[in-house]
Amino acid sequence: MNRKLRGYLSIIAAALFWGTSATAAKSLFERSVSPLLLVESRVILATVFLLLLFWIVRPRLLRIRLADMRDFALLGIIGVAGSNYSYYMAIQETSVGIAILMQYTAPTLVAIYMVLTRQERISRTKILALLSSLGGCIIMVGAFDPAIHLTPPGIALGALSAVCFAFFNVYTKVASKRYSIWTALTYTFISASIFWIALDVVFHTGISVSSPREMGALVLFSLSSALIPYFFYFNGLKFLTSSTAIIVSTLEPVIAIFSAFVILGETLYPEQIAGGVLVISAVILLENRKE
């Protein structure tokens, strides 16, 4: 399997897990699980799992240069915790659709950054794929609905989530260049976990687990929504450029909408299908272009 195909399959796998985890999250919300508990625990539990695993099996994977901890701290706090926190706060201020749409303006930010810093040359095919994926997201989330609720804080938080997600895509290559995926993932998650714990201490959120059954559900959610998809995403970024990877990741809302239709029985509207086709077309355009 060539490097390019491995990269595409890895990012698609990450989008698959993230998209279906949105459906799982909705199911947990209906069981009165706090959204804040869910977003915090997914990273903290994944961190505990990784630390225990490598401490027992391969402790050498936990060895890094102290100077490199700064890169992982930036990646974990801004790229992971920052994008998650601002995204969920944007949902609270506006709606899921608008929060998704604003976060998925991140591919445009990455493309602009790569051109300005001369790290990539953006071809006409990639521009077309970028516009197709962005247009697909706009149509899927119903951005033209006049009943959409927008507030200045919601717009600001949505923009922040896009910046943080763009940062994650660009900076992952910097932070993980000297280490294995597992080492980079572990220290990124450690940094994100410290952010969430500090948030709890400062704001006294009082987040707690109510039962062993809830804890089991949170562990499974942590594996499927954080540990596994982030591993695939880190892996994909080793084989693809940042701008390509983030465009492919726009498959996530397509998968989320379709899985909600299949699993939860939610209505699938024609415009959602049309938007999904545009996003999938963008991925096909990228995969078939000449490097």
Find tokens 């990784």 and name the residue. 50
DSSP state of 195: H
Given a contact cutoff of 8 angstroms between Cβ atoms, the answer to whether 85 and 218 are in contact is no
∠ CA 133-282-288 to the nearest 5 degrees?
160
- Report CA torsion sign: 126, 227, 187, 194: positive
Binning pLDDT at 50, 70 and 90, where does residue 147 land? low
Find tokens 């996003």 and name the residue. 279
Which strand (E) or helix (H) includes residue 227? none
Separation of alpha carbons 203 and 92, rounded Å: 17
Separation of alpha carbons 285 and 231, rounded Å: 25
List the one residue out of 228, 222, 217, 256 whose CA is nearest residue 33: 217
Binning pLDDT at 50, 70 and 90, where does residue 206 land? low
Residue type, 208: S
Question: Average pLDDT, stretch 79-90?
Answer: 87
Whether the predicted pLDDT of 166 surpasses 90: yes
Structure tokens at 97: 């659709």
Find tokens 């197709």 and name the residue. 132
Whether the predicted pLDDT of 143 surpasses 70: no
Whether the predicted pLDDT of 170 surpasses 70: yes
Biggest CA–CA distance in the chain, Å, is 56
Separation of alpha carbons 68 and 288, rounded Å: 37
Binning pLDDT at 50, 70 and 90, where does residue 114 land? confident
What's the whole-model pTM score?
0.86
All residues at 6 or more sequence positions from 142 whose CB lies less than 8 Å from its CB, including other chains: 97, 148, 271
Given a contact cutoff of 8 angstroms between Cβ atoms, the answer to whether 42 and 221 are in contact is yes
Residue 145 CB neighbour total at 10 angstroms = 12
Separation of alpha carbons 183 and 61, rounded Å: 6
Structure tokens at 33: 């699980």
pLDDT, tens only, 17-54: 988 887 788 778 777 777 778 888 889 999 999 999 88
Structure tokens at 111: 């493309």
Binning pLDDT at 50, 70 and 90, where does residue 209 land? confident
Whether the predicted pLDDT of 92 surpasses 80: no
Given a contact cutoff of 8 angstroms between Cβ atoms, the answer to whether 45 and 222 are in contact is yes
